[in-house]
Amino acid sequence: MTAAEVLAAYAPAAGLATRLEPFAAGQGASRPLAESLAGRLLMAPMAGVSDAAYRLMARAGGAALAYSEMVSVAGLHYGEKSWELVDPDPAEPDLAVQLFGSRPEQFREAAERVAARLGERLVLLDVNMACPVPKVTRKGEGSALLEDPELAARIVRACREGAPGVDVTVKIRRGRYMGQVVAPEFARAMEAAGAAAVAVHGRFATQMYHGEADWGAVARVVEAVDVPVIASGDVMSHEDALRAMDETGATAVMVARGTYGNPWVFSGHEASAAEKVAAFECHVRLLEATGAHLKRARSLAGWYFKGMPDAARWRNAAMSCETADEFLAVAAEVRAHVC
């Protein structure tokens, strides 16, 4: 089955949509990015998570837009394997592609090639200036760019030069090191370089994902720039998303970990146990349809079955599964005992 056929057959039982609406902004679209973002919830880029199957589940759950996993511009320059992260499934109406690296010339090349490859299905190019992982930052990439606004600005300009018809956005943190807030000033520099929007995660990079995100840091960026600001960090529910927009004045909200086992976070639908099992089954079938590694379903089982009776039992059962049929058999057992 194709991914579209999977959604048509299995999404309704999970309380998910079968028709995925396009975002509206993008190459060739008349609706501007700011208007398309207003009041909407987006699925964040997540390394090792936001593959095509995950994006399709999020869009079926109500996400206005979904991002690719972060893609190395060096990887796109030197090899073909990284393109697997860029290419949308035919069932995806459009896609936001996030790039990371530190060399402006590679960003220019990547922007040109991605724009040519995706055409009107490319909504925007986002530059990752937020990733806190040491293997990224030690190369001067991700959140390390917060310490070099001049280089970061050159990267934004390079992307705009490579793909002149595409909106270029950035994702940042409030700063790299605890107590060293740079987000408002840095965001102004990115706006001056031509960034069409700024996503702000309310933690310092050295916090990783510990502690609490400071939404006040997002609000201060909103005050500092005229372009749309997207709030990020500790958005774990639909109510959190609405509150984040209300408290920060952000144009939109980006949801990351709050999507784990919960594609309904975008709509606010309260899923039943039966719908959660059906969603897991749909997600497994989408992994198979999109050619993804089925072992990803091991994590999905823990997320979808969280909070159910004997959740640890179902999670452990999934850890030994290899095939789609084996994962679906676990789902059938959960349904028999829980629903």
Q: What is the pLDDT of residues 89-142, one digit of tens each?
A: 999 999 999 999 999 999 999 999 999 999 999 999 999 999 999 999 999 999
Residues of the chain with pLDDT > 70: what percent?
100
What are the tens digits of pLDDT across the range 12-47?
999 999 999 999 877 777 689 999 999 999 999 999
What does the alpha-carbon distance between residue 32 and residue 49 come to, in Å, rounded to a whole number? 29
* Domain ranges (residues) in the chain: 17-266, 273-338
Contact (Cβ atoms closer than 8 angstroms) between residue 92 and residue 68: no
Superfamily of domain 17-266: Aldolase class I (3.20.20.70)
Mean pLDDT over 228-248 rounds to: 96
Q: For residue 21, what are its two tokens?
A: 């609406």
Supply the pLDDT for residue 205. 73
Q: Which strand ranges, in their side-by-side order, compose the sheet holding 122-129?
A: 65-66, 41-43, 252-255, 229-232, 197-204, 167-175, 122-129, 95-100, 71-72
Confidence band (pLDDT; 50, 70, 90) for 208? confident
Supply the pLDDT for residue 339. 81
Cα torsion 117, 121, 124, 127 to 10°: value is -40
Residues 6+ apart with CB under 8 A from 79: none
Pairing of strands 167-175, 197-204: parallel
- Radius of gyration of the chain from its Cα atoms, rounded to whole angstroms: 19
For all residues of the chain together, what is the average pLDDT?
Answer: 94
Supply the pLDDT for residue 176. 77
Confidence band (pLDDT; 50, 70, 90) for 326? very high
Residues of the chain with pLDDT > 90: what percent?
87
Judged against a pLDDT cut of 80, whether residue 249 lies above it is answered with yes
131 noted as active-site residue: yes
Supply the pLDDT for residue 29. 74
Contact (Cβ atoms closer than 8 angstroms) between residue 170 and residue 202: no
Confidence band (pLDDT; 50, 70, 90) for 183? very high
Judged against a pLDDT cut of 90, whether residue 338 lies above it is answered with no
From the candidates 131, 159, 282, 321, which is the catalytic residue? 131
Identify any residues that bridge with 124 across adjacent strands, giving them in sequence order: 96, 167
Least confidently predicted of 20-34, 262-276, 308-322: 20-34
